[in-house]
Structure 1
Amino acid sequence: MADLSSTCEDHLESHRSVSAEETTVQTLLPQDVLCDSCMDSPSKALKSCLTCLVSYCETHLRPHLENTKFQNHRLVDPLHDIDCQTCEVHRLPFERFCLMDECCVCMDCESHEHKGHTTASLGEAHAQMETELQRKHKEISQSTTAAEKAIEKLQSNNDSIKSLVQDVCVTVGQQFACLHTALEEARKGVVEVLEGEQKQALTQAENIQVHLEQRRSELMKSLTQINKLSRSKTDVEFLQGYSEWKKEKTDVCIPPVHINSTDHLTSYIHVVTDSTQELCDLILSCYKEKLSMLCKRGTKSLMVDSQPSALPDQETREDFLKYSRSLTFDPDTAHHFLRITEDNRKLTNTSPWQHSYSDKPNRFEYWRQAMTSESVYMGRHYIEAELSGEGAHVGVSYRSIDRKGEHNSSCITGYDFSWCVGRNSRGFSAWNAGVETDCKVTDITRVGLYIDFHRGCVSFYNTTGPMRLLHTYTADFTEPLYVTVWLSKKDNMVYLLNAKC
């Protein structure tokens, strides 16, 4: 204690020499601790006493330095919340740290409430916790760096995707231009065939017409001669003329004209129409099938690289709690009939009362749903939720679920990339892509959601009593999942629990 008094006196002497050079008016800063004994004008505290729980300026600190009755008092640098440095129960300064309960204790605490616990001095505990904090700081820094690198990798990948898509679009344009050229050539080919048919038919008709016109001229000539004979004045003239005309042996037969049927020309319409439909069906089905297969292979390549965990399967609730996540609802997603309370963990349907939420692109407008602010991605995750009311549903969904649509695919029971459980008039069921699976249970108030990304499964458990598996879905997860809730009826409620509590 003598060393502490000597140190304080040296500090006080140094402070006096500095004060002598300063102006009489002391300038106080917002962060300065004030003396609790100065009544007329505030002064800056020089020390705080953990025994008195009071801070003192230079003048009022003198009794603690000069009077032997204050030698057992512990002086420290000025503290703003000096009460926080003492035990609320025993009103004694904290002198030890309980490593078992991880809290500061006074001497009476160590002798009674924390008797038998492993404790350490505040300095030792500080050093130990500082080491642990530095280690954690290093881990977090490394994780932050890894996240930044992953983000840079994703952004670089996005740029590559955009560039590649542009290149592919150019190639696609070229290929469809080739397809268009082929179609144009096919069209020209069909037109040429039709024009050939037309030319052949017209030439044939023209030649027959020339022949018929010649026969008509000959017959007209014969008619003229006959008419002339009919006008003969004497019998001799008539008979001589008739004999001459008869020698010419006029052919009065006209060759029959066969008009080709045009029905075969209309058959071109059926041939071209049928062939075109077959080609269109073939093209569309070929593109759709091959592109679909390619898309299924391509989506997995966008996932962040990570190795599957070799951890054992879970058996008890305590095993699941190792992966528990504490999530909160995002107010910007909540439907106007839904109210979020209790630190954004509780969601209630207040129909018909609406809440004056601002318009947000992420807000659900038709289905009375809300989504969490936090997502889960990669690894294993466990979330517990309380459900109340017929119509309360909870599950996980991709962020891309439609927020404005009225169709069933905008609800977590109908969306292809959402998996949920909930209660309706038929009982308690699991849902995915509009398909309902009866869980064959009724009395459920608490459910557990377990997601294992690497195995591609999301499982739902009844945790109202002993843990019991309700249903498991398997899927190739390619995006982070968000806990999503649908409350279809008034007073429905879902509360996201802090599972570790």
Structure 2
Amino acid sequence: MQRRSQQRLQEKEKKLQELKQAVVTLKSSAQAAVEDSERIFTELIRSIEKKRSEVTELIRAQEEAELSRAEELLEQLEQEIADLKRRDTELEQLSHTDDHIQFLQSFQSLFVSSGSEVFSSISVHQHHSFDGVRKSLSDLKERLEEFCKQEFRKISPNVSAVQMISATEPQTSEDFLQYSYPLTPDPNTVNQNLSLYEENRVVTLSGIFQHYSGQRIFDYSY
């Protein structure tokens, strides 16, 4: 019993050292995982912020280019409209003149100055908004959220798999003896059919059981 006690003491001390080392390792590993998580998510956020800035710059650049073209065309169209109004006024005045020579000279001058209308082939697109970009960004958001959900489902089991202590059930008689404890029944409260011996450490069953079979009675004692 002394050797067994010493052996158990050594085993307990070994388990104690193993548990202390496991605690240190667990804390260190958890801190490293947290730092990696912070670093990776920070880099991911920075990457998303960079892409956000790139998309914003792309949209603004396209907006600026299209607005510049539109403003140039607006100025030319306004100039042409002003010229057409002026020619219309002159033609109206010319239509009321009685001097045929002046009419021919003025008409020839107005015909030469009319120029060519370069805007006849220009058409304004009906779909001139960034709705397509907004739709693409919305789809990207949904795909990213779904991807994150799938990856987080993989992370959670890996976190739960980190276990420092695992309980093992006793298998052999020696394993069960580690949990043995001497029991001493109280003779004042023990059942009347039980008999105690050897300082109340041995219990036997004794009593008379009557079994009726016809007219015969059998007594059994154990």
Fold conserved (TM > 0.5)?
Answer: yes
What is the CA-CA distance between 1:170 and the residue it aligns to? 1.3
Counterpart secondary structure, 1:272: helix
* Structure 1 length-normalised TM: 0.31
Residue 179 (str. 1) matches residue 44 (str. 2): yes
Deviations 1:70-128 (A, max 9, x none): xxxxxxxxxxxxxxxxxxxxxxxxxxxxxxxxxxxxxxxxxxxxxxxxxxxxxxxxxxx
Kept in 1: contact 2:94–2:103 (CA 8 A) = yes
Amino acid at match of 1:241: Q
Residue 222 (str. 1) matches residue 87 (str. 2): yes
Q: C-alpha distance in 2, partners of 1:261/1:148? A: 82
Choose which of 134, 139, 160 in structure 1 pairs with 2:25: 160
Q: C-alpha distance in 1, partners of 2:92/2:116? A: 16
Q: C-alpha distance in 1, partners of 2:127/2:54? A: 20
Structure 2 CA distance for partners of 1:262 and 1:199, relative to 1, 3 Å:
farther
Structure 2 CA distance for partners of 1:222 and 1:263, relative to 1, 3 Å:
closer
1:228-377 alignment, distance < 5 Å? 228-229=93-94, 232=97, 235-236=98-99, 239-248=100-109, 249=111, 250=114, 255=120, 257-262=122-127, 265-293=130-158, 295-296=160-161, 298-299=162-163, 302-303=165-166
Aligned to 1:495: none
1:65-464 alignment, distance < 5 Å? 136-229=1-94, 232=97, 235-236=98-99, 239-248=100-109, 249=111, 250=114, 255=120, 257-262=122-127, 265-293=130-158, 295-296=160-161, 298-299=162-163, 302-303=165-166
Q: C-alpha distance in 2, partners of 1:265/1:284? A: 29
What is the CA-CA distance between 1:294 and the residue it aligns to? 6.3
What is the CA-CA distance between 1:276 and the residue it aligns to? 1.6
Amino acid at match of 1:242: F
What is the CA-CA distance between 1:220 and the residue it aligns to? 2.9
Q: C-alpha distance in 2, partners of 1:171/1:158? A: 20
Q: What is the number of equivalent residue pairs in this alignment?
A: 174
Q: C-alpha distance in 2, partners of 1:156/1:293? A: 21
Counterpart secondary structure, 1:180: helix
Q: C-alpha distance in 2, partners of 1:293/1:282? A: 17
Deviations 1:251-286 (A, max 9, x none): 696626522233662121221111121122112312
Deviations 1:305-331 (A, max 9, x none): x9x96x5xxxxxxx8xx669679xxxx
Q: C-alpha distance in 2, partners of 1:302/1:199? A: 64
Q: C-alpha distance in 2, partners of 1:267/1:149? A: 67
Amino acid at match of 1:192: E
Structure 2 CA distance for partners of 1:291 and 1:160, relative to 1, 3 Å:
same
Q: C-alpha distance in 2, partners of 1:290/1:263? A: 44
Q: C-alpha distance in 2, partners of 1:229/1:145? A: 123
Counterpart secondary structure, 1:261: coil
Q: C-alpha distance in 1, partners of 2:136/2:85? A: 47
Structure 1 stretches of 4+ moved >4 Å: 251-254, 322-327
Aligned to 1:131: none
Q: C-alpha distance in 1, partners of 2:102/2:49? A: 69
Q: C-alpha distance in 1, partners of 2:26/2:15? A: 16
Deviations 1:110-155 (A, max 9, x none): xxxxxxxxxxxxxxxxxxxxxxxxxx24432432343233223213
Q: C-alpha distance in 1, partners of 2:56/2:116? A: 42
Higher helix share: 2
Gaps of 5+ in 1: 1-135, 312-318, 328-501
Counterpart secondary structure, 2:120: coil
Q: C-alpha distance in 2, partners of 1:244/1:302? A: 109
Kept in 2: contact 1:229–1:242 (CA 8 A) = yes
Amino acid at match of 1:246: F
What is the CA-CA distance between 1:174 and the residue it aligns to? 0.8
Kept in 2: contact 1:219–1:252 (CA 8 A) = no
